[in-house]
Amino acid sequence: MDYTAWYPNLIAFNNHARYGIPFYHALSMLSKSHGQRLLCTRSDVKNGYPEPEGLNGLIAYQEGTRVRNVKVDGRPAGFSHGIIGSVTHHEDGSLELTSDYTDQLEGYPNMGHIPPHTAFVTFGEEETSHCTYDLEVLLLSPDQEIDIAVWAHSTPMLFSRDETDPFYTSWNPVYTDRYVWSIKQGQGRFASVNRFNYSCFGSTIPLPIRYGEYNHFQVVTRHGGFDCYLNGLLVQTAEMVPYPMIAELASEDDTYIYVKIVNFDKTHEAVEICLDCAIQAIYEAELLTGCPKDTNSLEEPLKVSPVTRTFDNGADTFTYQAPAYSFSVLRLKKAILREVS
């Protein structure tokens, strides 16, 4: 058979070896330390922003949209992926976005709400987190709608799939997420987009678009958002929604208190843990950590896998150092009180 795994690929294999992906190890850690009762927790943690990486792109919702002079950080950026459709090169140096909507999307799940004639392409080959993205788009009327995409990246969803189908291993509309500066009816707004489901944020404002000619759009991506320029003027600024950089959960059984800690940040965090009961000083922490893009393979089956460490600073109030990009499970043994005779 042609399979090497069943999606979401918790365990992959060939005829001689197997390995678990990082998410498999995270689930295994949870299953070994789930406890019998959930505990109420209160936390005071700092907020931060996602650190997305990806390509830049353009989505057009009508036929015939033309673009030229596409650059990333001042360097020309050519067409790289036809997520829906492709491009046609013209003698004047412009690219016309073309759509094969019917052929490309027919039969794919939950794609029926994408407008006909939609085309979605990316430019450049290097995924970045911070860059300056320039392009000139010919807009003829407010009815001509586009999305200028940043941080476009291929992210498979977690459900069963046939890995022999190239659709599931290539850039495609089902598995490509991005942030967009969406320009519709002459107004600009921001959204994070999964498939073609929009989660809008920020305000919607009218844009001084010059219809009937090429307009110069520029998007500068940065930590926490991106800045949008139109024909040399700063017209909109996107601020991403922050989220807590530490997540926690606690449970217990008759012997242990289990504290789960996820550190989303790129730096280690000193986490102060305050308990309402006594514990023994010595405790174990099972730790899963690595760089965000690290993965396991047949050549490196344990590149991202749990390690167990022992600490001796357990108390009703103590500090645990949570490494960057980590998931920790602390097993805190309750103190045994001697009976008074």
pLDDT for the residue 3: 43
pLDDT higher than threshold 50 for residue 37: yes
Banded model confidence at residue 51, pLDDT cuts 50, 70, 90:
confident
Over range 58-67, report the average pLDDT. 94
Where are the CATH 2.60.120 domain residues in the chain?
54-239
Rounded mean pLDDT, 24-52: 90
Confidence of residue 102 (pLDDT cuts 50, 70, 90): low
What was the pLDDT predicted at 14?
A: 72
Distance CA 98, CA 118 (A): 8
Query: What's the CATH code, domain 11-48+244-333?
Result: 2.60.40.1180
Given a cut of 70, whether residue 260 has pLDDT beyond it is yes
pLDDT confidence of residue 197: 81
Look at residue 296 in the predicted model and tell me its pLDDT: 86
Q: Which of 122, 120, 123, 121 is nearest to 77 (CA)?
A: 123
* Residues 144-199 pLDDT 10s: 999 999 999 987 544 445 555 555 557 877 778 999 999 999 999 999 998 778 89
Structure confidence at residue 108 (pLDDT)? 57
On whether the CB atoms of residues 124 and 80 are closer than 8 A, the answer is yes
Considering only CA atoms, which of 178, 295, 171 is closest in space to residue 226? 178
Residues 79 and 87: their CA atoms lie apart, in Å, by 8
- Per-residue pLDDT averaged across 117-143, rounded? 96
The CA-atom distances, in angstroms, between 80 and each of 39, 63, 135, 192, 211 are 50, 20, 15, 21, 28
Burial (CB count within 10 angstroms: exposed 0-12, middle 13-18, buried 19+), residue 312: exposed
pTM: 0.81
- Residues 54-239, CATH architecture: Sandwich (2.60)
Which amino acid, residue 238?
A
pLDDT tops 50 at residue 73 = yes
Arithmetic mean of pLDDT, 220-242? 96
Identify the weakest region by mean pLDDT among 70-84, 246-260, 288-302.
288-302
User: What pLDDT does residue 109 have?
Assistant: 53
Q: In the chain, which segments carry CATH 2.60.40.1180?
A: 11-48+244-333
CB within 8 Å of 85: residues ≥ 6 apart = 97, 98, 99, 100, 101, 104, 118, 119, 120, 121
Instruction: State the pLDDT confidence band at 316, using cuts at 50, 70 and 90.
Output: very high
Query: What mean pLDDT do residues 101-113 have?
Result: 56
pLDDT category of residue 303 using cuts at 50, 70 and 90: very high
- Judged by average pLDDT, the poorest of 9-18, 91-100, 215-224, 276-285 is 9-18
Q: How far apart are CA 122 and CA 55, in angstroms?
A: 6
Tokens of 16: 């001689």
For residue 13, what are its two tokens? 């294999």
Residue (of 291, 268, 280) closest to 337 by Cα position? 280
- Whether the pLDDT of residue 71 is over 50: the answer is yes
Token pair of 84 as six digits: 């829906």
